[in-house]
Amino acid sequence: DPERIRLLRHAENSRGGMPIFSIEPGIDDQKWADWQSRWADEQVRFRNLIATFGRNRRWAKTRIKAVSRIQKPPFDIPNDLVAAAAVCAAWWAEEFISLTPELSRERDERYASRIRGAISNLRESEDGDWGAGGPSLLIR
C-alpha cells in the first residue's frame, strides 16, 4: 500500500532521528507475503463478494458506531483529527471484515512479535537513556 509507505517515510523524515518501527513487515518477508495472498484469496470468496453489495449501508453504520465511541480526550485536539480517527476506526473494521479467525490470529501474533522486537531493539540501543525501567510502549 503506497499510503503506508508514504506515512513511514514521513515519520522517518520528520522525527529528527528518533527510531521508527513499522509493525507491518516489508514485501521481502515471504511469510507475510503468504499471509497477504491467503487474505486476498479470502476476500474474493463468493460470500465476501456478495457482502460487497451491502457495503455502503454497512460502512455508514460502522462509521456512526465509531463516532459514538469517541471519548473526549483530556487535552484539546482539532475536530478534524477526531473525525479522522472515527473514519480510520470504521475503515479498519470494514477492511478486515473478511478475515477468518485464523488469519486474524496470525496477523495479531505477527504484529505483537514485531512490537516486542521494536521494544527489545530500543532497550538494547546505546543512545537510549532509559533509566532502570527501560522504554515504555503506551497504547490507549
With respect to residue 16, please indicate whether it lies within any of the assigned structural domains: no
With respect to residue 8, please indicate whether it lies within any of the assigned structural domains: no
How far apart (Å, rounded) are the C-alpha atoms in residues 130 and 136? 9
Number of Cβ within 10 Å of residue 86's Cβ equals: 19
With respect to residue 62, please indicate whether it lies within any of the assigned structural domains: yes
CA distances (Å), origin 87, targets 70, 82, 105, 131: 11, 9, 24, 38
Domain count, the chain: 1
Which structural domain range is residue 61 located in?
29-111
Asked whether 70 and 97 are in contact (CB, 8 A), the reply is no
Number of C-alpha atoms within 13 angstroms, CB side, residue 87?
6
| pTM of the complete model | 0.68
With respect to residue 131, please indicate whether it lies within any of the assigned structural domains: no
Per-10-residue mean pLDDT, the chain, length 140: 75 74 86 93 86 80 82 77 82 83 94 90 71 53
Q: How confident is the model at residue 140, as a pLDDT?
A: 39
